[in-house]
Structure 1
Amino acid sequence: MTLAESQGSDARDLALLNEELGLLIDGATNHAIYMLDPRGHVTIWNRGAERIKGWAQAEILGRHFSLFYPPEDVLAGMPQRDLDRTSLAGRLEEDSWRLRRDGSEFLANITMTALYDEAGALRGFGKVVRDITDQKAAETALARREQHLLSILATVPDAMIVLDEQGRIASFSGAAERMFGYCEADIVGEKADMLFPRIDRDRDGGFLGSYLVFDDRAVAGAVRTVRGQRKNGEIFPVELAVGEALSGGQRIFTGFLRDLTQRHRTESRLRDVQSELIHVSRLSAMGTMASTLAHELNQPLTAIANYLEATRDLMVDPSPETVLLVRGALDEAAGQSLRAGQIVRRLRDFVARGDVEQRAEPLNALVREAASLGLIGAGQAGVETVMTFVDDSVCVQVDRVQIQQVLVNLIRNALQAMAESPQRVLTMTSATLRDMVEVTVADTGTGIAPEMTDRLFQAFASTKQDGMGLGLSICQTIVEAHGGRIWAAPVPGGGTAFHFTLMRSSADAG
């Protein structure tokens, strides 16, 4: 090959290379790629530059690149300063605002490189510009959402703990720090089991043990109550819910924990106050029955006094016949004293404060004992009592005194409701309903006033002039605490029937 042919071949290869390089540059439509001469005039302009900046190649070649800067940056001398910085450092990369042909601004990621020839002389600058307006907006929105989420997590009262598959702590919220007493920096990487008492870890498998054995995630995600242990060793009740997610192909677990200490204290105090209120209600009921009780006790005491006076007179001149009479009188006096003692004992048991204790009690005996107290004075008021009970072997799981309080309250209400009725019949019945029993106290009184139908069991709702409206509300509280319910229904022909249910005990007699 001759020299001329060799030179021609090299020229064709160079032309082909330049063509391929041009195609490559023009194909980068997401990037504005252009060149500047040493003074900042545009010498090369690709299609990406046309799309991003808006100028066609024909109208931008030879023009100064300061066209791309906002006016205030031009007045500040930024274009020339950028050329000088690039010449000195060889490369400049930054994010800055630039102009399009239509005057709109966009946030650009700019890379400018100084180009030198073999002799070290500056030939110009190569620039690559990418529009990152949408990207930055998305990053800003994401950062804002993350900050919002972090602010929520920092203020939410529930503790949040994130764990990896091995149960190691990856994240420990501010609420968790306050709840357990550990700093996040000290506990990240540790096993979460350290937050729970050892005896519970051994029994339940720790924080994740019982969760991971579930196949049904709906069951696993249920809220449950466990015990936590603070850094100082204090054990406290915790409400725990665990969720699961995938991140990078790995399972992560998030535990949400709520300290129940204050709730339990409040519930305990509420139970104490409620128990005290129930006790006060019993005392109040006895107060309203005071005159009737005094009359009921006065009868056996008067009889005792009369029998003793008779025996005194008979012993003035004793004879075999009078001794027999004295013996009979003393027997009667003893019987009346026992009757008075039973009344006093029932009253003492009924008004005693005592601890609330539910145990198996024979239903019929419980109802009859309550009736003997609640029906004091009913005979003198002309009230007929009808009782129909289930078999005596049926037992209920109750606190005896509290259920008797319900019965006494319902009986006394029934007696008051029939005070002006021509027919006065009080009916008490019991019936079994699978694992429950139903007790009914019905009267033939005036019935429930229409305005009280929806408020019957509300506290302080009463139609009695001297009533506080707590009796039925307390009855409802007691019955519901025993797992039952209480309601009222009209009786055909007039009157009201109060029904309540109780849990049947497995200790039924027989």
Structure 2
Amino acid sequence: MPHRLVSPRTASYQELDAMVHVLDGTEILIHRFDETITHWSIGCENMYGWAREEAVGEKVYELLATKFPEPAEDIRDQLKSRGFWQGEIIHRHKSGYDIHLASRFVLVNLPDGDLAVIQTNSDVSALKGAQEAVKSREAHLSSILDTVPDAMVVIDDRGTVLSFSRAAEKLFGMSSDQICGRNVSDLMPNPYRDAHDGYINHYIDTGEKRIIGYGRVVTGQRADGSQFPMELHVGEATANGERIFTGFIRDLTSRFKIEEDLRQAQKMEAIGQLTGGIAHDFNNLLTVISGNLEMIEDKLPPGTLRDILKEAQSAAQDGAILTGQLLAFGRRQPLNPKHADLGQVVGGFSDLLRRTLGEDIKLSTVIEGSDLDVLVDSSQLQNAILNIALNARDAMPKGGSLTTTISRVHLDADYAKMYPDVRSGNFVLVAMTDTGVGMNEEVRQRAIEPFFTTKGVGAGTGLGLSMVYGFVKQSGGHLQLYSEVGRGTTVRIYLPATHEAKVPEPMAAGDAGENQLPGGNETVLAVEDDARVRRVAVARLASMGYTVLEAENGHRALDLLQENSQIALLFTDIVMPGGMTGDELAQEVRLLRPDIAVLFTSGYSEPGLASKGIVPGAQWLRKPYTAKELALKIRELLDAK
């Protein structure tokens, strides 16, 4: 479509000469519509390095190697239709470097009927350089803030959130758009939420610093309402005459958990040393008492006194058993370790367990694989298994089942990082799972403390699991308890495996073997309430090529499922807080997405827990699992779809 031509102002050659003469110090040049330069000011000589004699008569766009922000033909059309054009262009200096210009073109008529363009230019190279420097610094700062693990929140003096880093989005479970413009107190639980604005006003009025300039441990609140400990550092600055506050936040959940585990281990170590020492001395006293009673018995005729003496001896023997348990917990009992196949040791002990537990309890023993050799005191191991079995019997007064599974496992570096007292390596696992009443978290935390018992007065000494714990530790192993109220308990004993050369060590991350794990590009939703376990699972899945979404509970997982239609597999823990277990979550997921694959995992190792037909096609992966086991199981599920 042709442009409507305007009638530009007519300018004589004398007027053009006078204009350039008057404005000679400015950057002004005039050229005909065919681009031939007719006038060239001293300002242009200074800017471009070309003398007037060199420039006049040359084609302006060729001489200055002009770069336009849009096609030159479009600019010519705008000049004809509007009579002017303005914008940013780039010219080339005689020495070869570029000059960024803010330029204005004005079209005039010449007396001979030809058209000319008056061009005025302002050098904005310094401004462009400053803009590029600002952009570069902004990109650099953005890269740092997106990379550092600490979250960053910027607020004004009214508490309104101005900036919310990517780490903050991940930590609080909300996007920057959701929180920016709202009060920062939305990230806090009460009573801190209601009091926060008062803290700011108090500081502004009095200058009294309570948190600015140094760190402080406070409580944060995520979008889902869950609370967590965090370390907060706040700095103050002034921007555009207004006061702003920048907070750097570090999640302390994992550190607090590790510190609590360490305190628990230190407490158990101290109690073990105390009880072991007392038991050792008390055993000496019992030896004297029992020996003297035996000598007296030989001198007494049959009768009442001899019967009384036998009761005293029986009590001394009970005391010896008690001190033996204390010595076991204190790791001071004498052990006689020998090479043994745990499959044979436990299997041969099953008949005695069956008679001990009675007919109401179904006893099952599962031996997985071979090469189950360990260096252990078999009699003490059988005693430990018996103690666990008796606890299981007491937890199932109306009957139930006790399943013992023996298998060879590898605890990798990821697993060892989560537990301060565990080392990585090959172990033989004895897992004993009952279907009893289970333990709540408080009871589970204290279950291995000596003399702690939930049984009635006179029904137990509280030393059964304490003895098992001490024996396992003295044998170089590791003990774990998994339990859920109403579903049962699993006691897991890890004993160091011998002949480790028979099982190749998993390759470290970065080795060629790691890259050979089967992977894919599907989207996986990982649901796990333990933040450390979840981080390990997400990292493993991501290294296999999967897109990973993560949730800390079932309700958050359902929200993510509705927001993301590409999720191909649900990988969920069974036992989780928040009112929804893993199998309940899987049932809800199948109602929304019948085609989704489901993989369960848990430390609770009842074999039938996730395979009762509640979620058809679901598979089961027992903790701790290796990266290879996880990779193979996921591919098995996804490839079967």
Q: Normalising by the residue count of structure 1, what TM-score does the alignment of the two structures yield? A: 0.50
Asked which structure has the greater CA Rg, the reply is 1
Q: Normalising by the residue count of structure 2, what TM-score does the alignment of the two structures yield? A: 0.41
Higher helix share: 1
